[in-house]
Amino acid sequence: MSVRELLRFIVDEFDPAFLHPRTQSELERILERNAQPGLPGCMGSLDCSHWEWSNCLKAVAGMYQNRHGKRTVVMKTVCDEALWI
């Protein structure tokens, strides 16, 4: 699966409204809400996934090679409790 197909799935599944950058007021509200239970400075949950890139071009293969010799792309995502990505 390519990164483009993954992003297309995310937009189709979750709607483009969930994929916009936070405004300053939204960010302040999220940080305040997460500080109450003892998570100051926490914007949301971070997930990091390694996706194997089977069709990696040879010209860039060295930049995407992991320690096991496979070509991977690292997907990093942060979302809040309302699933804003």
76: three-class secondary structure by DSSP = strand
Specify the pLDDT at position 41: 83
| The residue to which tokens 């979750």 are assigned | 14
Q: pLDDT tens digits, residue range 23-56?
A: 899 889 888 888 888 888 887 777 778 888 888 8
Mean pLDDT, residues 58-62 taken together:
84
Q: 76 versus 59: which is more confidently predicted?
A: 59
Taking the complete model, does pTM exceed 0.75, yes or no? Answer: no
Q: 43 versus 71: which is more confidently predicted?
A: 71
Percent of the chain with pLDDT over 70: 88
Q: Which of 23, 39, 24 is nearest to 81 (CA)?
A: 39
